[in-house]
Structure 1
């Protein structure tokens, strides 16, 4: 490979470093193992191949993990990439496994970092679809000489418009909008912030269910209990005044009131 291509292939320098390390088994043995693994898909063969090339994720994890201090996580991701490379490698194509595995592992590491940049965790399938949509939008813009419609993007990718809309909305998790972002008002031309456009929290909303339950409980009381509750808590009368109104003793009113309040509190 020409030396002038090296700057265009960053993984090539890493690959050359990897070639300095000696493998545990010879090239001929490795080739036989890959041929046999391709036929049998035996797990023990795969483990032997992974162990033989384990030095690759070790080196790559040190290279890409030291900046963020998550070497252990990067090593695990690199090992996962090595497993993918072993499963996908075709020995009949004639190139070395190191050449195939290195960019594959680096790709998994970069994908890991790219996924972590999302503010909200989005499923990998949606992230991939979002990238396909962006690529398709660019392609159709050049072809149609205008911004494509959602229906046109959906038709090009052969998926539903609903899937397109969901994937496009997920991009907000990657680029969150600031509450201080300003928009132009359609009415007077003045700018308003996103905070101004958001609704305020209704403090009474959480009491709606309790109020409805309270009404049902009051309706289930007998006539004397209902009169005591209405006179005490809706009319604001004292126990003495309520006792005189229903021709009962104040002690009786107090006892009934406590009984009713206990039942209502338990229901609430």
Structure 2
């Protein structure tokens, strides 16, 4: 173990900290011993100082092996292991910030539940295709275990009533959990309902919905907004009366104290200005 002694600049002489070379490479036993010392110093150092940050950062590096150890139980998710380690580091940092020597327990014993908890939360929050309340996510797991137990016992698929009895919940709650479980996996809208789509099979998108014609208006509304801003207050009032309140030209003329012919000219001028503002070619 490569360690040299330094004295902190702002701490009293008794708060000497060891300068650790390559803290992430320490043997577990050395890491445990030094962690004890660093936690003692962390308790007396002022938060925010250089010495405090050095002690905290060194503790993080010395105990990274705990994160790697905890990540092994999720090795079946090899493609996401880097993300698992990253969220595990969050758990390690939380454990360091909350650990107290007065607990009279090893830091590793205290930290691992924090690390594993963050990893489990990562999978719980990211592996569902759609957002589902955590209560229902947990209920799905319970439902799976109950279903497996009853299938083994009954040699058939259990009924909702049988699942409710075993889980000690209502039948409505079982159905709710079954519906929520559908959010765990998703399918592409381009996927064929059966067989190979290249053989002319119908795609999922062809049967579950249709194109909303109102979507074509979105771009028009976005273009219309700045054009409306270029109108005078009187012109905007005319537009409101004609197209929102759907008044006739004669009624608008009475409102403004002008003739129907004048209202027609005003409307024609407004519409020309709006079309030009939207980039519409006016003949």
Tell me the TM-score normalised to structure 1 length.
0.48
Question: Normalising by the residue count of structure 2, what TM-score does the alignment of the two structures yield?
Answer: 0.46
- RCO (CA 8 Å, sep 6+): is it higher in 1 or 2? 1
